[in-house]
Copies of this chain bind each other. A is one copy, B any other.
Amino acid sequence: MSNPTAPAAEAVRAEESVDARLFLQTVARTMRVLEGFGKKQGPQSLAELAAAAEIDKSAAQRICYTLQTLGYLERDAVSGGLRPGLKVLDRTFDFLRMHPLIERAVPVLAELRAMTGQRVDLSLPDDLSIIYAQRLQNRRETLVASLIGRRLPTWCSSGGRAMLACLPDAEVDSILHRSDRRRFTPHTVTDLAGIWEKIRAARRDGFAFTEQEWIMGEMVVAAAVTDAAERPVAAIHVAGSLADWDDRHFQLRMGPLVIEAARSISA
């Protein structure tokens, strides 16, 4: 598991009031098969995918055969196992292209990256997680695989807290309570009071700041992008290394820049 925030709650969410008349179980099974890759690393066997999707081997066989025919699944050359196919990237492209924010954001992010020289990210909220939609690396960012689609917990990420700061208290509480607030580094703030303190600071400053709460040696400044109704729809992050910056100076320099960038693509 590489995407750390368990999307388990979402299944529950979806279950509650589905109109069985309109819900196609074949479609759901198909998607569950594709989601089977989230579990563990490396190509999967047919049986593994069947188990992950909670269907029998016959159903998995038909679904995988079809997906493979369509290009959404490929056979790995060496292991013979299955992995997501190239067509997936076509859907990624559609998502990015159709998204109301992304295209507007890309130039702003590029400029921000040029001004700061740091890694710049755009993330989108999804209840308990945020998900990276666009990433511009800096020079030395090599180790942390900076991939699109990576999820981070809302409650402990800078972007997540920036977006929480835009929500009414009740919604913040709901998210915090439903989150699995585990410790990722010795510096992760996991208690409710501490997190609320950070959120209040974000409301006051206009940006959120986290220091080594997710990765040691990394600090992040983030500001929320809002829609016409002032609801948070994205966050812009600037990440820096403690090796290069004093935390106070980092905030003073980056804070105004991310606020300005976020404001410029808000509705």
A interface with B by C-beta (< 8 Å): 2-3, 7, 10, 14, 18-19, 22-24, 26-28, 30-31, 34-35, 37-38, 41-43, 61-63, 65-67, 69-72, 76-78, 83-100, 102-103, 106-107, 110-111, 113-114, 124, 126, 131-133, 136-137, 139-143, 145-151, 227
Bound form: Cα–Cα A30–B133 in Å = 24
List the 4 closest pairs (A to B, CB-CB), nearest first.
A93-B149, A84-B95, A89-B149, A37-B94
Bound form: Cα–Cα A151–B76 in Å = 22
Is B41 a contact partner of A97 (Cβ separation < 8 A)? yes
Q: Decide: A150 near B34, CB < 8 A? Known: A110-B137, A142-B110, A145-B103.
A: no
Is B43 a contact partner of A149 (Cβ separation < 8 A)? no
Closest beta carbon of chain B to A149's beta carbon, Å? 3
Closest beta carbon of chain B to A234's beta carbon, Å? 11
Which of B66, B71, B114 is A27 in contact with, Cβ under 8 Å? B66
Closest beta carbon of chain B to A122's beta carbon, Å? 12
Closest beta carbon of chain B to A134's beta carbon, Å? 8
Is A131 a contact partner of B89 (Cβ separation < 8 A)? yes
Is A111 a contact partner of B142 (Cβ separation < 8 A)? yes
- Residue numbers in B under 8 Å from A147 (CB-CB): 93, 96-97, 102, 106
Q: Decide: A35 near B97, CB < 8 A? Known: A110-B137, A145-B106.
A: no
Which of B66, B92, B94, B99 is A22 in contact with, Cβ under 8 Å? B66
Is A89 a contact partner of B95 (Cβ separation < 8 A)? yes
Is A78 a contact partner of B65 (Cβ separation < 8 A)? no
Closest beta carbon of chain B to A267's beta carbon, Å? 9
Is A91 a contact partner of B88 (Cβ separation < 8 A)? yes
Is B69 a contact partner of A143 (Cβ separation < 8 A)? no
Closest beta carbon of chain B to A33's beta carbon, Å? 9
Q: Decide: A150 near B93, CB < 8 A? Known: A24-B66, A110-B142.
A: yes
